[in-house]
Amino acid sequence: MQQYMSDKQRTIKKDVSLKGTGLHTGKDVKITFKPANENTGYTFRRTDIENQPEIKAIVDNVVGTSRSTVLQQNGASVATVEHVLSAIYGLGIDNLIIEIDGPETPILDGSSKIYVEKLIEAGIKEQNDNRKYFVVKNNISFTDSDTGTQITAYPAEELSLNVMIDYNSTVMGEQHASLVSLSEYQNEIAPCKTFVFLKELEVLLKNNQIKGGDLSNALVIVEKEFTQKEFDRIADLFHKDHQKYHGRGILNEQDMTFPNEPARHKLLDLLGDMALVGMRVKGKIFASKPGHFSNIQFVKKICKEVKKMQ
């Protein structure tokens, strides 16, 4: 990843596009990244809607956190923004226009890797203005006693993240992941796929979700024992070929990049949601059992402190 000595804002050098399928909608979509002016942040633009309404990627525009983060503004919305924003923030890009011709970003391989590759292909360039930072001076914490979630920001000179997840899973166990520096993001975090428990798939499908989900864009964790017949029935629901059931474990373990990939993916999600602060953050973040709802509540607490500065 290209490194910079100065601390100027950054955008990309040229337009780049890619196509894919929305995870929950199952609809094909094209997404185009375009350079943006200083101090404009991240802006989604719905090119499939009349007048091409824009949606600023800030926490005030979050309208949903069920299985993904959803933004809405000017009568338009865009869903599953966290993997895109994670890639943008992780690469040190400050200003970007993200054109999209559908209601949801493409899931691609379930990670941020392909987004990172496209943005690097576009080239990253420095702009004239200096970056703005929110520097954590006092601890900022969000706790959810119902889920056992806690996310806390501690004072530090640079941004780092530490994540712990625990789903009471005998397959995954308790997992930890950390990102000491954003310079490690491209290789250590971006390739990490989203994950789902096999027992959840049928429920999600019945709730009109994950229409674009398959074994190529998510790690599927088999926690309980199934019969081959049950296994085949679930494959039929997704219009997928039957596979031999091998018992408990990770169904597509060959697609894993790291043993603690689920925890790393939760860190990826957290970074994407933190992009909604609207400026860079300097602080040490510890997150226990994070999810999109808790991430957004935590970001809202940070933004309250940001507004006190202004």
Q: Which residues are catalytic?
A: 292
Contacts of 196 (CB under 8 A, 6+ apart): 204, 210, 213, 218, 219, 220, 221
* Half-sphere exposure of residue 300: CA atoms within 13 angstroms, side-chain side: 12
Q: Which of 75, 65, 80, 45 minimizes the C-alpha distance to 218?
A: 80
And the tokens for 209? Answer: 């979700």
- Give the DSSP per-residue string, 152-211: EEE--SS-EEEEEE----TTT-SEEEEES-GGGHHHHTTTPPPEEEHHHHHHHHHTT--T
Rounded Cα gap, residues 75 and 19, in angstroms: 24
Q: Which residues contact 206 (CB under 8 A, 6 or more apart)?
A: none
Q: Between the CA of residue 280 and those of 50, 92, 130, 131, 179, what are the distances in Å?
A: 33, 9, 12, 8, 15
* Residue 15 CB neighbour total at 10 angstroms: 12
Q: Which amino acid is at 109?
A: D
Supply angle C-alpha 16, 114, 162, rounded to 5.
Answer: 125
How far is Cα 133 from Cα 92, in angstroms, rounded to an integer? 13
What's the rounded Cα separation, in Å, for the pair 143 and 145?
Answer: 6
